[in-house]
């Protein structure tokens, strides 16, 4: 007979597995089901048309391309800004470090609607309301907050003696970045790019407020279809949204693992 503790553990695991996978499975089935209505237990017709439409329908394709463009640009730009920012803050005085951490945390913690309204006013003033660039700037704010916190953590535990050794061995600042810093930061940079991509990829409120409906992205498309009762199309859009997240999770499942240059 199975011991009680072991039984509870097994049941918990099964429950967790169902909790995590059931919505996804349901989405997959819905994305392939045309006209699946209550009380039918299974779809009557299997149809891949909604999937084809994702790539062939110009409006949906534009939304997908906009989402990808925004996520890639935001991830790269935020990583390029957050790395030096987190580094210089980590090596600064405690006061500066705390101030940067507080600002970065505020960008993350502020409700997107509140942040979006503030950004909307700014972006409109700049004449960028309803443009892809304006939305990109808006996405950059929370993403930069997340990534600054990531790099602040990385560099707080960074072994600065590596750079000092490289410097006294004759490496210029550029050589130190190329030969020591960047190779050792490969994993944190990959993690930051992935995180930055996901933060932008899933944005709804900022896109809606700053884009003003003129900039269509995949999450907005999914919401619109849900409101219109187009469940199959919405499921396809939702799965398209989930796929990059799952890929990124798989690629960075050891994201928390430290690089050799950072002590545990």
Partner 1 sequence: MSATLDVRDLCVLFEGPPQPSPIDGSVRYFVVDAGTQSIPEVAPGHRIGLPGVTFTVNAGACLAVLGTSGAGKSSLLRTLAGLQPQGRGSISVNGRDVSALRPEQRSVVYLHQEPVLFPHLSVLENVAFPLTVRGTSRREAERRGFEMLVRLGVGPVAGNAATALSGGQRHRVALARALCADPAVLLLDEPLASLDPAVRRDVRAALLEARAMSGAATILVTHDLDDAMAVATHISAIGPFGDLSVPASPADLLREPPTLAVAQLLGVFAEVPGVVERTDDGASRFRWAGGAIKAAGVAPGSAIACVRSHDVDVSAAGSAEAPVLTVTGRRDAVHEVMLDVSDPSGRLVTMRVPGTTAARVGDRVQITLRHARIYSTH
Tell me: does residue 263 bind partner 1 (CB under 8 A). no
Residue the block writes with tokens 């409700």 = 111
* Distance between CA atoms of residues 107 and 105, nearest Å: 5
The span of 19-27, 170-178, 223-231, 243-251 binding partner 1 (CB under 8 A) equals 170-178
Helix (H) or strand (E) run with residue 45 in it: strand 45-46
Tokens for 188? 């944190």
End-to-end CA distance of the chain: 41
Tokens for 204? 């709804």
Q: What angle do CA 68, 71, 76 make, to 5 degrees?
A: 125
Helix (H) or strand (E) run with residue 33 in it: strand 33-34
Interface residue with partner 1, options 68, 76, 128, 162 (CB under 8 A) = 162
Residues 88-127, one symbol each (x = binds partner 1 by CB under 8 A, - = not), give: -----x----------------------------------
Interface residue with partner 1, options 99, 179, 257, 258 (CB under 8 A) = 179
Residues 180-209, one symbol each (x = binds partner 1 by CB under 8 A, - = not), give: x--xx-------------------------
Interface residue with partner 1, options 10, 12, 48, 172 (CB under 8 A) = 172
Tokens for 62? 């534009």
Site for partner 1 in 37-96 (CB under 8 A): 93
Interface residue with partner 1, options 76, 117, 171, 204 (CB under 8 A) = 171
CB-CB neighbours of 183 under 10 Å = 11
Tokens for 219? 């999450």
Name the residue nearer to partner 1 (CB basis): 12 or 165. Answer: 165
Residues lying near partner 1 in the complex (CB under 8 A) = 93, 159, 161-162, 164-172, 175, 179-180, 183-184, 260-261
């Amino acid at each position: 007979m199975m011991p009680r503790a072991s039984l509870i553990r097994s049941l918990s695991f099964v429950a967790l597995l169902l909790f995590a996978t059931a919505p996804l499975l349901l989405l997959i089935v819905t994305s392939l089901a045309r006209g699946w209505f209550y009380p039918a237990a299974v779809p009557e017709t299997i149809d891949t048309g909604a999937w084809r439409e994702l790539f062939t329908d110009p409006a949906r394709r534009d939304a997908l391309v906009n989402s990808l463009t925004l996520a890639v640009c935001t991830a790269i730009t935020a990583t390029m800004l957050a790395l030096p920012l987190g580094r210089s803050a980590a090596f600064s005085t405690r006061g500066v470090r705390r101030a940067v951490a507080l600002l970065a945390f505020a960008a993350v913690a502020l409700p997107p609607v509140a942040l979006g309204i503030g950004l909307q006013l700014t972006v409109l003033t700049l004449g960028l309301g309803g443009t892809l660039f304006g939305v990109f700037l808006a996405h950059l704010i929370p993403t930069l907050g997340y990534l600054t916190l990531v790099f602040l953590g990385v560099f707080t535990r960074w072994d600065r003696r590596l750079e000092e050794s490289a410097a006294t061995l004759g490496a210029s600042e550029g050589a130190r970045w190329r030969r020591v810093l960047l190779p050792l930061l490969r994993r944190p940079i990959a993690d930051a790019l992935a995180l930055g991509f996901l933060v932008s990829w899933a944005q709804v409120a900022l896109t809606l407020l700053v884009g003003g409906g003129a900039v269509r992205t995949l999450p907005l498309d999914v919401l619109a279809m849900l409101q219109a009762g187009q469940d199959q199309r919405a499921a396809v859009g939702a799965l398209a949204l989930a796929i990059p997240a799952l890929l990124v999770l798989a690629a960075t499942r050891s994201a928390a693992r430290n690089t050799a240059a950072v002590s545990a």
